[in-house]
Structure 1
Amino acid sequence: MLHRVGCHLVWLRNSRLASFWIALMAFTLIVSGGSLQAADWQVLFDGTSLEGWTRSQDNDQFALEDSLIVGSSSGQTRFLYTEKEFADFELEFDVMLHDTDFNSGVQIRTSLSRLNDKGESRFSVHGPQVDLGKSPGRSGYIYGQGNRGWFTPKEALKSHDLMKNGQWNKVRVLAVGPRIQTWINGEIVSDLVNQEAYKKYPRGVVALQVHGVKNPEEKVRHVSFRNIRIREVKQ
């Protein structure tokens, strides 16, 4: 029986069907013992334009420079967000933080407006955020932008040294249902299951953040992004 299986595998490798099976397997993600079906990758930023992205509040804190998305701060926190919304997905991007005192992040399943305390509608970016920066040891954990605190429980906010300031870092995010997993440079950082956050934010835009600083004139280039891509998944 083993001999028969071995012969079959040799035939498969040498046949024209091998490339087909390899391509088919690429559509399946194996995560913590579960199987997810993945669609094709969609390039959100290809280094040539900001097509498909919108700046929050007409800010100019994000620019296309040297085939990168470069964010610099003003006195206010600003965002660059996708025109398209996503629900369950795998997201990958490269990020470099140029200033050790700087804070950035990438919003996922994010909403763009809400009612304030007076019941008035106003522009607001709020939802789960993959934190990046200032305290590099917390990069990769999930902050509740506009929700006054972390979605990641405090006891799970364990400091690490995976995020390297001044260098390119590869970040991967897998969001399926109430579960959000993050990796930095190939190492898993967060594995969060938050039913309340998922109920509130089941889908939304992807948004890049540049945090406001006290003396923006002293800081020129803070954070850069490249190789941003996403693929939708389903169980």
Structure 2
Amino acid sequence: MKKGLLLLLLCTMFLAVNAQKKKTVLFNGKDLTGWKVHGTEKWYVDNGELVCESGPDKQYGYLSTEKSYKNFDLTLEFKQEANGNSGVFFRSDIEGVKISGWQVEVAPLNHNTGGIYESYGRGWLIKPKPEDEKLLKEGAWNTMRIKVIGDEVTTWLNGHQMVHLKDAKIGQANGFIALQIHDGGGIKVRWKNFKLKKL
């Protein structure tokens, strides 16, 4: 009996340690450690939140992870304080400010938040249903979840599944995760509570 309990305890501890190893801290709430800025737009930390804001050039800007992530389950929160045209890129690469990869859209109401767009490629691969876009809370905190495994991508907004996509080209790719500032100016989005689990 004692041996059985000891074995159960050891298995539980092993699983807990293993689960902790798979969890990755993307944003420490203090600075941009682990991230790289691309372009001249503004990226900074305010009150423990990561802020992206248009700069004087009003061009595209990106903040990418220094590491690559292939299979993962990512949850984060965002709040659009001004024009919220932004997004979360995955399995991506960049030269200057020309990014190659896939973006989960974060945008104002009725502009495809949760849909998947291929940058410098095929364009929109899948858009959410118009009725699902009403889940976006403008000017308030929203929760986005992105699960990427093999050739499948699933997105959720505020707990509701937005899209599911199987795509061979995505399945072959690897690269960083990045946040975007769209060009045009007047954009300000806050991000917090990044939770990433490697799969």
**Is the structural similarity TM-score above 0.5?**
yes
| Per-residue deviation, 1:148 | 5.2
Task: Flag the 1:49–1:141 CA change in 2: closer, same or farther, 3 A.
Answer: same
Cα distance in 2 for residues equivalent to 1:26 and 1:169:
30
Give the residue type in structure 1 aligned to 2:27.
F
> Aligned match of 1:127 in 86, 89, 101?
101
- Determine the structure 2 residue equivalent to 1:198: 171
Give the residue type in structure 1 aligned to 2:170.
A
- Where in structure 1 do 4 or more consecutive aligned residues deviate above 3 Å? 15-28
Deviates more, 1:67-76 or 1:47-56: 67-76
> Aligned match of 2:157 in 184, 199, 208?
184
2:136 is paired with a residue whose SS is coil
Q: CA RMSD in A?
A: 2.8
> Aligned match of 2:143 in 170, 176, 188?
170
Give the residue type in structure 1 aligned to 2:43.
F
What residue ranges of structure 1 are gaps of 5+ in the alignment? 1-11, 29-37, 114-121
Task: Flag the 1:24–1:209 CA change in 2: closer, same or farther, 3 A.
Answer: same
- TM-score of the superposition, structure 2-length normalised? 0.84
Task: Flag the 1:47–1:144 CA change in 2: closer, same or farther, 3 A.
Answer: same
- Determine the structure 2 residue equivalent to 1:105: 87
- Determine the structure 2 residue equivalent to 1:231: 197
Alpha-carbon displacement from aligned partner over 1:176-207 (angstroms, at most 9, x marks no partner): 111001111111111110113333xx210110
Give the residue type in structure 1 aligned to 2:42.
Q
Task: Flag the 1:26–1:91 CA change in 2: closer, same or farther, 3 A.
Answer: farther
Identical aligned pairs, as a percentage?
Answer: 28
What residue ranges of structure 2 are gaps of 5+ in the alignment? none
CA contact (8 A) 1:56 1:79 kept: yes
Cα distance in 1 for residues equivalent to 2:124 and 2:118:
5
- Determine the structure 2 residue equivalent to 1:65: 46
Larger Rg: 1
Cα distance in 1 for residues equivalent to 2:152 and 2:18:
20
